[in-house]
Each structure stands twice: as C-alpha cells, then as structure tokens.
C-alpha cells in the first residue's frame, strides 16, 4: 500500500477543528483557573503534537504540510498558522457578547477564505505557508 496526500476537504477540516475546540472547552471547564491559558497554548501548538497534526487532524487522518519545502519546525508552523484562531479565542473572553461576536467573525472569515481558496488555505495557512492534506492509502499496482 502506498501513501498518497491530497488536499484536505472542507468538512474534514471543520470537523477536526471542532474536535480541537471541544477539547479547549473541556480544558476551560476542568481547569477553572488555568484552563483558558491551556486552551490557547493547545490551539497554538496543537499542529505540532502528532507529526504536524493536532488531535482533531490526527483523528480525521490529516496533517499540515509546509509549502516552502524547507525544514521549518512543526512548532513554528503551528504557532504561526494558528495565531488567528488563538486571537479569536482570546477575544472570546471580552465581556458581554462582544467576545462571541469577534470569535464568530474571525472563524467566519477564516472559513469563507478557506472555501474561496483554490488550495483550501485559510489566513493562518497563508501566513505560515502551509496547507492541510488528507493521508490516503492506495494499493500499488
């Protein structure tokens, strides 16, 4: 069996991020004082946990690839590409509904840009020069 990488679809990417955000919510609930900070750190470094994949991406069979072809560290790519989501999470903590508005606005903009991109790249991918690929195994022959 050979390993083939294809550009990740929109639905698997959304599901992977939803899994990661649910884990963030669990951290915030289970660790009342430190959970928010743990969640922000998890979002920032999440894509460097499992060979360039967050827990959500790993469960969905995806990983992050550098478009530059250089040896940029997974942690560097993860922090840069997820800084937009981490910023949305930080803004979510603003009082009243202002934080929710900013979080939804940031997530919505990222989603719209990903849908409109030929390579399904969101702002974070553009910043880090990365893309998300699905790993597919095919029989050789």
pLDDT tens figures, 81-114: 899 889 888 888 887 788 888 888 888 898 899 9
CB 110 within 8 A of CB 124: yes
In whole angstroms, what is the distance from residue 55 CA to residue 128 CA?
19
Looking at residue 117, what DSSP letter applies?
S
pLDDT tens figures, 8-30: 988 999 999 999 999 999 999 99
Q: What percent of the chain has pLDDT over 90?
A: 33
Q: Using CA atoms in the order 71, 79, 48, 40, what is the torsion angle rounded to 10 degrees?
A: 170
Measuring CA to CA, which residue among 118, 122, 55 is closest to residue 88? 122
Tokens representing 118 are: 């030929």
Q: Give me the helices (H) in the chain, please.
A: 10-30, 35-45, 55-59, 74-92, 98-116, 123-128
pTM, to two decimals: 0.83
User: How much is the mean pLDDT over the chain?
Assistant: 87
Q: Using CA atoms in the order 90, 95, 101, 106, what is the torsion angle rounded to 10 degrees?
A: -10
In whole angstroms, what is the distance from residue 45 CA to residue 55 CA?
11
In whole angstroms, what is the distance from residue 121 CA to residue 114 CA?
5
Q: Hey, how many other C-beta atoms are within 10 angstroms of the C-beta on 106?
A: 18
pLDDT at 71 over 60: no
Q: Where are the domains of the chain?
A: 2-136
User: Mean pLDDT, to the nearest integer, of 52-67?
Assistant: 90
């Amino acid at each position: 069996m050979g390993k083939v990488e294809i550009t990740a679809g929109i639905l698997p990417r959304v599901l992977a991020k939803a899994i990661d955000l649910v884990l963030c919510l669990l951290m915030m609930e289970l660790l009342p004082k430190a959970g928010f900070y743990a969640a922000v750190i998890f979002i920032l470094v999440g894509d460097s946990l499992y060979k360039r994949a967050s827990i959500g991406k790993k469960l969905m069979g995806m990983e992050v690839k550098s478009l530059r072809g250089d040896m940029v560290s997974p942690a560097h790519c993860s922090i840069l590409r997820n800084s937009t989501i981490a910023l949305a999470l930080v803004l979510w903590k603003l009082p009243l509904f202002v934080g929710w508005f900013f979080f939804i606005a940031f997530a919505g903009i990222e989603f719209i840009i990903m849908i409109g991109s030929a390579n399904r790249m969101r702002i974070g991918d553009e910043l880090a020069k990365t893309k998300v690929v699905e790993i597919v195994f095919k029989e050789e022959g």
